[in-house]
Amino acid sequence: MSSLPRLAAGLGRLLQGRWAPLAAFLVGGLAVLGFAPFGQFWLLPLLLALLFQLWRQADGWRQAAWRGGAFGLGLFLGGVSWVYVSLSTFGGMPMPLAALATLLFCAYLALFPALAGGLFRRFLPAALGRQALLFAGLWALADLLRGWLFTGFPWLALGYAQAPPSPLAGYGPLLGVYGLTLLTALAGACLLSGVRGWVGLCLLLAGGWGLQQLSWTEARGEAVSVALVQGNIAQDLKWQPERFQATLLLYRELVAAHPAQLTVLPETALPALLDYVPQDYLAELKVLARRQEGDLLLGVPTGAGASYWNSAVSLGSSPAQQYSKSHLVPFGEFIPPGFAWFLQLARIPMSSFSAGPVPQPPLALAGQQVAVNICYEDLFGRELLPAVSEATLLVNMSNTAWFGRSLAQAQHLQIAQLRALETGRPMLRATNTGMTAVVGPDGRVQAALEPFTTAVLEAQVQGYGGLTPYARLGDWGALLLSLVCLAGGWVVRGGTRRIC
């Protein structure tokens, strides 16, 4: 067990000086392999151990901040550079400007690990165990801050990599994704913390495995048949007026061929305001939904006066209901004040949505209480919780065709795994191009369609009730544990600082 700390220390000395930022950048790039679709969750603690050593050996907080920023830049350039696809390929922004915008966006995201690195080296305690606590607490707080500031962008929070089958997934229903971030960073630091660190790591993994044997929620009512529709309509064709009738026919045929008690279509499946969709077409969908005394959820923009919303509208046996997206995507669904010039560079349809009300209750459909979220909203676990206490199912309706054949589809499904795990509820995903899937209340993918295919996923899904600890506390548990780690790391910092 002592060989790994010696190896890391040797690598740290080798990568000192001018090569350290490059090493941190490469380590960050390799960290992308820990997330979907690669799924090498075990790799993240090893890479974080190297970063831990690079921060410990830094000559001052500025150098540690540069190394943290380099790690973040490698992670985000490798993991979320699909933003370029949406800006250039589908948004029409000139390629050099789209590349610059993507680089600046990733550089902004890299500021958060840079902040964590600078604070870590500035307050570096003498004892190795306290260094590990400080490292983990700062990582978790950096991810929490990134998920909140300027409406938040928590994509690639380290905890997402610990979705099942990771042994750390057992902590998800207690602490949520940010708690998993903290434990991932702590596991990395434990690798370099001697025998005590390795004992702590074994206990951590054993605890996660044990927690996975518990059921925090219980089945409610009868299972329902569901049909999740994947239209696979290319983004560059979706909004062309001459394609409108073909889109209507495609979805009608898919719904007609796959009867179910609950049918779900993707986000903005119909590319027109609801008022402009032919009434006889909606009536036909309603009749199709009622074949099994069921209901259909339709993704479609809705409007009133000068305002319009990104909505899910129900048709079928139950009374008509509507959910409207409340957490909008900056620049994609609304333009922040002072950025009107952005619209002159990128042609993004329907980029001035209004936010739906908060909170919105679950929809009563097919004998279930369905908590709907639309696309990007499922990144924010705490915002889904007001509806969870009454909900038996979670439904996410997405259109990630904006990001082409990139990592985004698989990464978004992994995010949905955490939402199911945190709440103890099944998550049904109906997407335009992928990945359409059923995720169980334990966070495991039960069935999924091949992305970029036109198909319908049919399944029997059981609703669940009850509340996990995370559903009761939200992110407060992870925040409190992070602050405890910080307090443990900062307490009585006397003595010589160990850096090797």
Dihedral (Cα; 324, 330, 333, 339), 10-degree rounding: 140
In angstroms, how far is the first alpha carbon of the chain from the final one? 16
Chain centre to alpha carbon of residue 287: 35
Q: Are strands 437-439 and 427-431 parallel, antiparallel or unpaired?
A: antiparallel
Cα gap 181→171, rounded to integer Å: 11
Q: Are strands 393-398 and 307-316 parallel, antiparallel or unpaired?
A: unpaired
Which residue type is seen at 485?
C
Q: Are strands 363-365 and 368-374 parallel, antiparallel or unpaired?
A: antiparallel
User: What is the 3-state composition of the chain as percent helix, strand, coil, each rounded to the nearest 5?
Assistant: 55, 15, 30
Q: Which one-letter DSSP state was computed for residue 127?
A: S
Strand segments, DSSP code E, in 160-270 are: 218-230, 262-264
319: its two tokens: 């009374």
- Give me the residues paired with residue 217 across strands: none
Cα gap 390→392, rounded to integer Å: 7
Strand segments, DSSP code E, in 146-294 are: 218-230, 262-264
Q: Catalytic site residues?
A: 267, 325, 375
